[in-house]
Amino acid sequence: MPLDPIAFQLGPLAVHWYGIILGVAALAGLGLAVRRAQRIGLDHNILLDFMIYAVPAAIIGARAYYVFFQWDYYAQHPEEIIAVWKGGIAIHGALLGGIVTALLFCHFRRISFWQLADVAAPGLLLGQAIGRWGNFMNQEAHGGPVTRDFLEGLHLPNWLIEQMNIGGVYYHPTFLYESLWNGLGVLLLLWLSRTNPRRGVVFLSYAIWYSVGRFFIEGLRTDSLAFDGPAWLAALLNGLWSPMGLLFEPGAMAYGNVRTAQLVSLLLVLTAVLLLIVRRLRGWDQARYRDVPEQLQAKAKR
């Protein structure tokens, strides 16, 4: 029996596990970011102020991104555009909304974007790790068909295996792969922060780590947002993914020949690596992760 995606009813209102899990993910990520800010002496109220703008911007960005790539459906069902509790948000859209908001927030508050991003990065990845379990409850974001023996070989608990049984067919728990990858990334970013690197290194490392994992895991999924791109681009992405093909069959695409998340992940990796190299060679922003300007410490010291 699959798990019920509805946690409880409040009169006519159904409260979904998906929304609860996303709420827990946001709180856990914020909690970690606040603790990191306190450890380096950064006024954590700055983070709280930022979240007031970032959370709605991320939700809007995540939903708008998804709706854009599924416009043929939503053009016929416009009443479902805001039905985020049914699933259908894209992490890359949330990142875009969050980054644009952060740039504007830091500009008007005269704060280093890189310092804010470095403090927030592990919490962001923690939130993503937890949030994937919302996909689990909705039985979405899974990969292609597998056997029950395969899932049992991963030593997964029976309740998880049964949740991956959809219509009598077992599927790759790609949500779990990404959740574990992100969780490992949190530990990596926390360790990297202890070395007191230059500003921007932690956040750019986050972008690289998450994007590499997402690129390869995305190739297993069957519900990827996609589009019809040039043959050379599809061949490039398939070629880069081919080492994964030695272990697993790629997930069948419902439409298109280019997975949007793979393309965006590749662009993020290239951009982050380029920024790391250029910032290092040009000597941009020599300040370190723990270097907090005095004016940003004032509230914490009072």
Q: Which residues of 168-196 are buried (b: 16+ CB within 10 A; e: fewer)?
A: eebbbbbbbbbbebbeebbeebbebbeee
**pTM for the full model?**
0.92
Instruction: Indicate if the pLDDT at residue 228 is higher than 70.
Output: yes
Q: Are 265 and 212 in contact (CB under 8 A)?
A: yes
pLDDT at position 187 is 98
Euclidean distance between CA atoms 229 and 301, whole angstroms: 54
Q: How far is residue 232's CA from residue 284's CA, in Å, rounded to a whole number?
A: 36
- Whether residue 56 is predicted with pLDDT greater than 60 in this model: the reply is yes
pLDDT at 84 over 80: no
Share of the chain above pLDDT 90, in %: 73
- Residues 120, 47 contacting (CB under 8 angstroms): yes
Q: For position 286, what pLDDT does the model report?
A: 80
Q: What are phi and psi of 157, to 5 degrees?
A: -65, 155
Query: Which residues have CB under 8 Å from 268's CB, separation 6+?
Result: 207, 208, 210, 211
Q: Where residue 298 falls among pLDDT bands split at 50, 70, 90?
A: very low
Res 210 pLDDT > 70:
yes
Average pLDDT in the 170-183 region?
97
302 CB-near residues (< 8 Å, 6+ apart): none
